[in-house]
A and B are shown apart, each in its own frame.
Chain A
Amino acid sequence: AQSVTQPDIHITVSEGASLELRCNYSYGATPYLFWYVQSPGQGLQLLLKYFSGDTLVQGIKGFEAEFKRSQSSFNLRKPSVHWSDAAEYFCAVGGGGTDKLIFGTGTRLQVFP
């Protein structure tokens, strides 16, 4: 069955620290992978996406993610977190000629000054 697992419900980091949010997926075909961010009271905004090619993809706001097929993972990273990065982050998987994305349960990021 197709699924996305975000094992960390809540992460707290200090401003300026590095960040890694975990995402593992289960998908029968070649996956298309996405990270979205949701600020409080807002809809979701695309951070980055992976379809093929270079397994390290760059996104907006200084985020990057690395696709590791052998580990079925697509972890999101940022070298130095800013207070404005506090939000909820969702990993999603799709593909196979459909736009029906399957979302993980999200990771809430809290940033301390």
Chain B
Amino acid sequence: DAEITQSPRHKITETGRQVTLACHQTWNHNNMFWYRQDLGHGLRLIHYSYGVQDTNKGEVSDGYSVSRSNTEDLPLTLESAASSQTSVYFCASSVNSPTGELFFGEGSRLTVL
């Protein structure tokens, strides 16, 4: 069955370190998204991609970057982790349609000490 997987599921890191969260989907979807989930804020869009070599900033992109070298993967990198980036991160994908359903991964819980 097609799926979307995130790794690691849990990570603890220190302030200032670079961290990469992986996202891999086998749906063959063009669109991929990274959200962060925080109490009181719901889900906020960090970065998104509509295809290979395409990346775009979301509403909370500062301190994060993504790259899209193939259809299946959209890794999220925290250049220099900060305590404010402690959060649960969700990757999602969808077909290229405004009515397309988002398929979510199970999330990656990141703690920055």
Q: Which A residues form the contact surface with B (CB < 8 A)?
A: 6, 32, 34, 36, 41-46, 49, 51, 90, 94-101, 103-106
Contacts and interface: CB of A to CB of B under 8 A. Distances in A.
Question: What bracket does the count of chain B residues touching chain A fall in?
Answer: 20 to 34
8 contacts: A32-B98, A43-B106, A45-B104, A46-B101, A99-B31, A99-B98, A100-B58, A103-B35
B99 A42 contact: no
A68 to B, nearest CB: 20
Interface centre among B33, B94, B97, B102 (most CB of A within 10 A): B102
B42 A99 contact: no
Contact of B102 (A6, A46, A104): A46
B101 A44 contact: no
Interface in B64-113: 90, 92, 94, 96-102, 104-107
Contacts of A97: 98
A44 B94 CA distance: 13
B45 interface: yes
A63 B43 CA distance: 22
B11 to A, nearest CB: 15
Interface of B: 31, 33, 35, 40-45, 48, 58, 90, 92, 94, 96-102, 104-107
Q: Could you tell me the dominant secondary structure of chain A's interface residues?
A: strand
Q: Which 8 A-B pairs have the closest CB atoms?
A: A43-B104, A105-B42, A103-B43, A44-B104, A103-B42, A43-B106, A46-B101, A99-B31
Contact of A100 (B45, B104, B107): B45
A106 B106 contact: no
B102 to A, nearest CB: 6
